[in-house]
A and B are shown apart, each in its own frame.
Chain A
């Protein structure tokens, strides 16, 4: 194995740090998420490492639990968008004809509506539960994945080895999963990092606007919202989740870049 470049190491470190925090939240958080343990907006101290929030809850605990929610929602939404988007995209490319036309035009239709507005409308008429939030985000994002997957698959679908598989009489499932998918993986993996980040930003935006994760549950967007008034008094509590969102976004991207580079060099591409 070749040496891991420093940028990727940085990305790997923060990505795994956040994911570990999310997974181990109940064991590492010093306090419960909802318990009021001190005064409003206490400064950093030995008891409360990064202070308390707008009603006196331990900010570190809320950050850890909030990260768990944010990362869980983003991961689940990304999984949904990738499974539906890529399978539908590959299917459209392999079948072609009117099936492809109908699906692609439908996707165009959805994409012509700004995603945030669309989500706001849907979420304001539906009850805001975790499941619905994840489904809405996943399906909206699937349109983007669909476009990429279809474009990549259309190129691969005309290669001789796919034709050879068709001549052999292989079914669509084999062609999609064994011939096309392995060759489409590296652009999709790179895209996955990007889409995960968009999901994090998206759920944070929704929570900030009050349509995402509902209090008292914490998530990073929600924590920004709760503590934003503190900024006027020079209290930095709102910046902590903002910085967390930013570092997560950057580090996941660095990891995705590195993965893309490594997989392309397998095929004799750039080193």
Chain B
């Protein structure tokens, strides 16, 4: 134990919160967490939002974000206690001995400075290397992280490289001063699956090559299983379980951990499509106002009653645009949208109220999809008034029923959205969509902003409601695990085109086209050694070509 690089003992972290209309009060975010980390090892910190992962990560640099304070415990780095040391000593520690890779590289790089300047800044500041040596070291790291043109990429500005590349540059920035410990705070969460895999591999390789110890913070157990030696599961500031990666994944002791492990394993038998689709879009082409290029090219798909069509693809592939065309928010330039047996106007304004009622939408960010100044009752009640002219007792009875349907009680009627949890907000949005008694509901990344267990419940709820109401879902997502759990048919989109379309069984079985193969194989699986297998598989494929 004495040779541990990082020792955390009974770490307690608190913060002062300012609830509206009440006196400020102090709360505990982390209640006494202890762990050790040896040189060259990777510890994964995993948990839902609010579990205290990032807070613990930052505490290893003796830092607390605004309002957060380390209230007790000890943090030892390289044999010295860092809590309570002077700011001058901390400056030596931060950025050289312990470094940090944040979730959003785009927001962390200074857009006005070249990448190289920022990557070597800490090393030069701490007089660890000369400018020349630091640059040579940076170029070496760029090469090892698999960045294109490692000799010159440092001369570019942050906006001139892609998101995945910038995240790798940030890893180079963290590794450049030869730190002993790197804190990775959700480094791949903001990336597409296909990009995530490259970054993960690069990070893993860099950790192995440099022998640095790392704390890897994420909410995705499948990701952390690929890079960590040990995993610590956190929940609401308490340690739930701590063990080797193998033990956590294959033999979790705690119930919460096994819930997390099994969350992606839900199976759903796809149903074959019926003869008459409820909504069809045919050969749709669309472009945004004021631009001169199409964002959708010849897109066709069908939605069937009581079934789910999943639209998958990475960001920018045209998934959400397809939804906007269906709703009429973005009128199609060519092609048509057919509901049951009538052609709908391309433009929202040309549609009858009843046509609008039939197609409802649920958004990714539930908290901005509801007016913060309206109560839950008003939010759910409005479609009832608007489409069915319900008033008074009749309306209230129906609101109660709808709240019951989404497994929330009538007592939520007078609450404001700010008084609900993330999962509850999304439930209210579902109720608002259901209130219109639609035949089609478009779900735009409805679970991607939620914690895995909450997302799982939302999916279950959607599934049960579909069974009862026979509504068709257009389910937009970038997460293939979600697709497996809910879809009957799948459309794979890439650069504004549908590259693969069919029933779930057809789309998910070989032979694959190149893009679908890339997409499917990029989804992290919850087992050890998956990352290496995929990378090996890709190497062989490209060698074969």
The residues of A with any CB-CB pair to B shorter than 8 Å are 1-2, 159-161, 163-164, 166-170, 178-179, 182-183, 265-268, 270-271
Tell me which residues across on chain B come within 8 A of A271, comparing CB atoms. Answer: 18, 20, 24
Task: Tell which of B141-149, B223-231, B365-373, B486-494 binds the partner.
Answer: B365-373
CB atoms of B386 and A169 under 8 A apart: yes
Return B136 CB to nearest CB of chain A, in Å: 47
Contacts of B372 in A (CB 8 A): 183, 267
User: Given A164-B361, A169-B356, A169-B386, are A179 and B371 also a contact pair (CB < 8 Å)?
Assistant: yes
CB distance from A169 to the nearest CB of B (A): 4
Q: Give the chain B neighbours of A161 by CB distance below 8 A.
A: 368-371
Q: Enumerate chain A residues within 8 angstroms of B329, measured Cβ to Cβ.
A: 163, 166-167
Contacts A161-B369, A182-B374 supplied; 19 other A-B pairs, CB < 8 Å:
A2-B21, A160-B363, A160-B369, A163-B329, A164-B361, A167-B327, A167-B356, A168-B356, A168-B382, A168-B386, A169-B351, A178-B371, A178-B374, A183-B371, A183-B373, A265-B20, A267-B418, A268-B20, A271-B18
- Give Cα A166–Cα B24 distance, bound, in whole angstroms: 39
Judge whether B353 is part of the interface by a CB distance below 8 angstroms.
yes
Closest residue on chain A to residue B417 by CB atoms: A161
Cα A170 to Cα B356 in complex, Å, equals 10
Whether, in the assembled complex, B348 has its beta carbon less than 8 Å from a beta carbon of chain A, the answer is yes
Give chain A nearest CB distance to B176 CB in angstroms: 39
Closest 3 CB pairs of A and B: A182-B373, A160-B369, A271-B18
Q: Does B73 contact A (CB under 8 A)?
A: no
CA–CA, A265 and B20, complex, Å: 6
Looking at the assembled complex, report how far the CB atom of B128 sits from the nearest CB atom of chain A, in whole angstroms.
41
Interface pair B368/A160, CB less than 8 Å apart: yes
What's the dominant secondary structure at chain A's contact region? helix
Please tell me which one of the listed residues B348, B373, B436 contacts residue A166 in the complex, with CB atoms under 8 A apart. Answer: B348
- In the bound complex, residues from chain B placing their C-beta under 8 Å from that of A265 are 18, 20-21
B315-356 to A contact mask, C-beta < 8 Å, 1/0: 000000000000101000000000000000000100101001
Q: Nearest chain-A residue to B362 (Cβ)?
A: A164
Interface positions of B from 414 to 471, Cβ below 8 Å from A? 418, 432, 436
B64 contacts partner chain A, Cβ-Cβ < 8 Å:
no
Contacts of B365 in A (CB 8 A): 160
Pick 21 A–B contacts, CB within 8 A, sort by A.
A1-B21, A160-B368, A161-B368, A163-B329, A166-B348, A167-B327, A167-B348, A167-B356, A168-B386, A168-B387, A169-B351, A169-B357, A178-B371, A182-B371, A182-B374, A265-B20, A267-B20, A267-B418, A268-B418, A270-B18, A271-B18
A142, B370: Cα distance in complex, Å: 30
Q: CB-CB < 8 A to A169: which residues of B?
A: 351, 353, 356-357, 386
Chain A residues with CB under 8 Å of B273's CB are none
Is B40 engaged at the interface, CB distance under 8 Å to the other chain? Answer: no
Q: How far is the CB of A255 from chain B (nearest CB, A)?
A: 19
How long is the Cα–Cα vector from A170 to B379 in the complex, in angstroms?
13
Residue among A1, A167, A178 with the highest chain B CB neighbour number at 10 A:
A167
B19 vs chain A, min Cβ distance (A): 8
- In the bound complex, residues from chain B placing their C-beta under 8 Å from that of A179 are 371
B243 at the interface (CB under 8 A from A): no
What residues of A have a CB within 8 angstroms of the CB of B386 in the complex? 168-170
The answer, among A167, A170, A182, A268, for a CB contact under 8 Å with B361, is A167
How distant is A203 from chain B, measured CB to nearest CB, in Å? 34
Q: Which residues of B contact A267 (CB under 8 A)?
A: 20, 372, 418
- Which A residues are in CB contact (< 8 Å) with B72? none
Q: Which residues of B contact A183 (CB under 8 A)?
A: 371-373
Closest to A266 in B: B20
| Assembly CA distance A31 to B357 (angstroms) | 67
User: Would you give the shortest CB distance from B240 to chain A, in whole angstroms?
Assistant: 29
Q: How far is the CA of A160 from the CA of B363 in the complex (A)?
A: 8
What's the Cα separation between A267 and B432 when bound, in Å? 22
Q: Report Cα–Cα, A2/B19, bound state, in Å.
A: 12
Chain A residue nearest to B371 in the complex (CB):
A161
Closest-CB distance, A21 to chain B (whole angstroms)? 33
B252: CB under 8 A from chain A?
no
Query: What residues on A are CB-neighbors of B371 within 8 Å?
Result: 161, 178-179, 182-183
| B239 to A: closest C-beta gap in Å | 30
> Does residue B502 face the partner (Cβ distance < 8 Å to A)?
no
B383 on the interface (CB 8 Å rule)? yes
A52 to chain B, nearest CB (A): 51
Contacts of B21 in A (CB 8 A): 1-2, 265-266
How many whole Å from A27's CB to the nearest CB in chain B?
A: 39
